[in-house]
Amino acid sequence: MKFSCRHFFRILLLLWLAAYSGMLSAKTWYVGILAPRGVQAAQQEWQPWLNWLSTQWENETFILVPMQLADAEQMIADKRVNFVLAPQAQFLSMKTGVEMRWLATLNRMDMAQPKAAELVGSAVWVRKDSGLQDIAQLRGKTIAAVQENAFGGFLLGYKLLYDAQLRENRDYSLVFTGYPIDQTLLLLDRKQVDAAIAPLCLMEEMQSRGVLDSAQFQLLHPVNNHSACAGSTELFPNWSLAALPDVPDSLATRLGSLLLQNQADVLLPGWSPVVASTRVEEILHSIYRHPFQQSVWAGIKNWVNEYKTWVGITLLLVALSFLNYAWVSWLAWRRQKQITQAYEQMRTYERMMMHADRLNILGEMASGIAHEVNQPVSVIRHYAEGTRYRLQKQQTHTELIPVLDKVIEQVERITQIIENLRKWAKSERNDQSVPVNIAQAVAKSVQFVRLQNDRHPMNIHINIPADLVLLTVPSVIEQVLVNSLLNCWQQQATQVDMSIRYFEEPFLGITIADNAGGFSQEQLEFPFVPFRTNKDQGLGLGLVICERLMRVIGGSLLLDNRSDGIAGAVVTLKLPLKKHSDPKGVKASS
Amino acid sequence: MKPDTLPIHIVDDDASVREALLYLLQSLGYDAQTWPDGRSFLDGADIGKGGVVILDIRMPHLSGQELYQLLIEAKSTLAVIILTGHADVPMAVEMLKKGVVDFLQKPVALAQMDVALENALAQAERNLLCCRLRSLYASLSPREKQVTELVLQGKTNRMIADELYIAVRTVEVQRASAMQKMQVDNLPEFVRAVNQACMKP
């Protein structure tokens, strides 16, 4: 008894093991079915067919996986489903990268009472009260659609807009509602959008459910089709079943032929051979939404992955060159700032020079005019006073005496005006003597002249001791130097030599010798005649002013021609040597 | 016309000014000679004869200053008035130091010119006198000059005789001769004349 009992258990275990191994060989297949109208509707519709399918194999089980359009792409990519049943057009616009074997196309379409999303097509709806009649009028409007990759719920409508030359963002804005697809029309109904791209038959279905009153809406771009639904585009009725790569060929083939053979059972959907998808591809191409067209970015990604090192190095080089560029830019900016600053300083100096020059010219002109006017005024005064004196002495025509007095009065007025003019001309000068390093003053003047005249290069050779310091008026020295150098330049000199000339105490000279031909005999005999010039635009006051400036500081300006065989002028600034308390002070010994 | 006046010269490069100045001077009762520049003045005028020169400063060839310098070097007895259109203080000071009578600025007033001319004429007279006395003094013999010098020191004839180791009589003769040559009659005039002659012009 004990033995038989044990035997019985052993047999039971074996049976169980056998049953278990049978269960192990059975396989579960997941069939992803697009469920545009929700999970329940999908289950209700497709569970019987899946049950039937499972009965056709002993060990294979088929499980319904309702898919939302948004998830479908990911689910396929993740291999969470083995079969897919969906509108073929829809899947062409997906970028899953997974190869699909299309097994059969569903031909169970009840054309008389189609349901939304069974037939693939778009209907573009607006509210009747909006008055919109044409696709082109949607410019500037907001349009609702299901999803960016929804074929009927967006792409077909998008093509209509595209063909009407309307471009996303530029001409209209889009609102994607996602699933459930009812949202598109509900937004339109609530006036949150101006138009809606709805999947075909959605309006009719919602009307029949009593959600919307279709009389309130207007279809744009109506196109005749063989269904009972109003649509704006052609229809793509092809729901097809596809096997994904992990389904063995034998199973796929058997399933295909099983579906095509079994046409008898009315309760089950009927199938026909796969319909070609050329037209869908054409449409996707025309609106640049075909998966292969969009793979450029993906291609770049792959390429980058493949050449990671090189891309890294290139990026590093780009970054380095950018840094380098930034560094160089900064250096350039800093240098430019320095140059600008130096230039500004030079400009200020130039302005000061110009100002001093203007005042000098004005002073010289005032004094020149005063002198010139003085002569005729003297003449008038002499005649008037002489005549008055005679009349008074001879006691004749004494009635003329007051007249002559008036003349004399006016002459005195003129004299006063001239006197004021002269005073002004003399007052505008700052004659503060300070220790001046002659070499530095010369260098400053030379630099100024060089900057002024870089067109015509003039070689200036300076031979002046660096430690020579004189107590004098720097602005005068610089102005006379600049004027003299500019004269050389204007006379087309190419070589100028500047040096120190030692006079008898207490004088010292700065000489400027050029090679521009020299002075004429007349110029040397009458050196400082105002308003005499050989330049077109000169006033003829340059040398006159320089001479006067030199006299003001107790020196003089000497003009001569070179005696060393070179045809050129020598201008000498003869400066008085004033004692200066600085121990470095005046150093004039040769 | 004042009959006994010395000649007056006007040196100015501006003809109108020359003429007007001449007219003014004539109104005041003087006569004058006009010269267009320093060179023609030096060539044409008798600068040894004495008189007054009214000089412009800014002139071609010779400036007023240079002309004046030449006059000084020539020991001229001419009294100089500077009449310039562009006077400045340093120049005026320098010229006055050198001995010009007046430094006037154009356009000059009649009264000013009158005063300046009177001063200048007086100066010219003095110059002439001085010049004459100096030439008289120059005609003295060395011994006469020796005696004259001691006379001016206030010494008596005897003291002079002792000092020079000569007879008192000789001193008297020399002294009388000197006074005669200097064209004076008494001691005070003699002292003044010799003093003027030895002064610088």
Q: pLDDT band for position A552 (50/70/90)?
A: confident
Strand partners, B53: B9, B80
* Burial annotation A56-95 (CB, 10 A radius, 16+ → b, else e): ebeebebebbbbbbeebbebbeeeebbbbbbbbbbbbbbe
* Rounded-to-integer distance, Cα B60 and Cα A525, Å: 10
- Write out pLDDT tens, residues A271-308: 777 766 677 777 777 776 665 555 577 778 878 888 88
Q: pLDDT band for position A22 (50/70/90)?
A: very low
User: What are the chain A neighbours of B26 within 8 Å (beta carbons)?
Assistant: 386
pLDDT for A422 equals 76
Asked if pLDDT for residue A545 goes beyond 70, the answer is yes
Closest by Cα among A242, A259, A240 to A83: A242
Q: Across the interface, which of B20, B26, B85 has its CB nearest the CB of A374?
A: B85
* Rounded-to-integer distance, Cα A193 and Cα A186, Å: 9
Element (H, E) at A126: strand A122-127
Cβ–Cβ contact A377 with B under 8 A? yes
Asked if pLDDT for residue A229 goes beyond 90, the answer is no
User: Is the separation of the CB atoms in B84 and B67 below 8 Å?
Assistant: no
pLDDT for A109 equals 54
User: What are the chain B neighbours of A380 within 8 Å (beta carbons)?
Assistant: 20, 107
Chain A residue whose CA is closest to B113: A382
* Rounded-to-integer distance, Cα A67 and Cα A47, Å: 14
User: Is the separation of the CB atoms in A364 and A541 below 8 Å?
Assistant: yes
Cβ–Cβ contact B104 with A under 8 A? no
A77: which residues sit within 8 A by CB, 6+ positions away?
Answer: A96, A97, A98
CA-based nearest distance B114→chain A, Å: 11
Mutate which: B14, B24, B59, vs A, most A CBs within 10 A:
B24
pLDDT for A586 equals 40
* Rounded-to-integer distance, Cα A187 and Cα A181, Å: 11
Amino acid at B152: L
Asked if pLDDT for residue A534 goes beyond 80, the answer is no
SS3 label, residue A310: helix
Across the interface, whether the CB atoms of A375 and B86 are under 8 A apart is answered: no
Q: pLDDT band for position A583 (50/70/90)?
A: very low
Cβ–Cβ contact A8 with B under 8 A? no
Closest by Cα among A422, A497, A434 to A460: A497
Q: Which residue has the tokens 């005897």?
A: B158
pLDDT for A581 equals 46
Asked if pLDDT for residue A78 goes beyond 90, the answer is no
User: Is the separation of the CB atoms in A474 and A573 below 8 Å?
Assistant: no
Residue percentage of chain A with pLDDT more than 90: 11
Strand partners, A572: A511, A558
CA–CA distances in Å: residue A312 to residues A298, A305, A514: 18, 10, 65
Q: What angle do helix axes B168-181 and B157-164 make, rounded to 10 degrees? A: 110
pLDDT for A384 equals 94
Of residues B46 and A588, the one with the higher pLDDT is B46
Q: Both tokens of residue A412?
A: 């005195």
Asked if pLDDT for residue A584 goes beyond 50, the answer is no
Across the interface, whether the CB atoms of B24 and A382 are under 8 A apart is answered: yes
Cβ–Cβ contact B48 with A under 8 A? no
Of residues A17 and A392, the one with the higher pLDDT is A392
Mean pLDDT of the residues in chain A: 79
> Which value, in Å, is the radius of gyration of the alpha carbons in chain A?
54
pLDDT for A266 equals 59
Strand partners, B11: B35, B55
Q: pLDDT band for position A114 (50/70/90)?
A: low
User: What are the chain B neighbours of A387 within 8 Å (beta carbons)?
Assistant: 27
Q: Write out residues in chain B with pLDDT < 70, as ranges.
A: 1-4, 198-201
How are beta strands A507-513 and A556-561 bridged, if at all? unpaired
Amino acid at A368: G
ipTM of the complex: 0.82
Q: Both tokens of residue A210?
A: 């009593």
Residue range A555-580: mean pLDDT, rounded: 84
User: Is the separation of the CB atoms in A438 and A470 below 8 Å?
Assistant: yes
Flag the least confident range among A87-101, A459-473, B60-74, B140-154: A87-101
User: What are the chain A neighbours of B16 within 8 Å (beta carbons)?
Assistant: 375-376, 379
**What DSSP character marks residue A109?**
-
Asked if pLDDT for residue A1 goes beyond 50, the answer is no
Asked if pLDDT for residue A585 goes beyond 50, the answer is no
**Omega cis (within 30) before A506:** yes
Dihedrals φ, ψ of B62, to 5°?
-120, 125
**Omega cis (within 30) before A180:** yes
User: What are the chain B neighbours of A383 within 8 Å (beta carbons)?
Assistant: 20, 23-24
Q: pLDDT band for position A8 (50/70/90)?
A: low
pLDDT for A94 equals 65
* Rounded-to-integer distance, Cα B91 and Cα B59, Å: 15
Q: Both tokens of residue A132?
A: 């919109």
Q: pLDDT band for position A387 (50/70/90)?
A: very high
Asked if pLDDT for residue A19 goes beyond 50, the answer is yes
Which of A:495-534 have CB within 8 Å of B?
A: 526
pLDDT for A369 equals 80
Dihedrals φ, ψ of A109, to 5°?
-100, 120
Closest by Cα among A409, A558, A571, A572 to A487: A571
**Omega cis (within 30) before B107:** yes
Asked if pLDDT for residue A589 goes beyond 50, the answer is no
Cβ–Cβ contact B20 with A under 8 A? yes
Model-level pTM greater than 0.80? no
- Write out pLDDT tens, residues B95-105: 899 889 999 98
How are beta strands A569-576 and A507-513 bridged, if at all? antiparallel
Of residues A379 and B91, the one with the higher pLDDT is A379
CA-based nearest distance B14→chain A, Å: 8
Cβ–Cβ contact A390 with B under 8 A? yes
Chain B residue whose CA is closest to A415: B107
* Rounded-to-integer distance, Cα A151 and Cα A141, Å: 21
Closest by Cα among B33, B27, B1, B2 to B109: B27
User: Is the separation of the CB atoms in A458 and A493 below 8 Å?
Assistant: yes
A368: which residues sit within 8 A by CB, 6+ positions away?
Answer: A530, A531
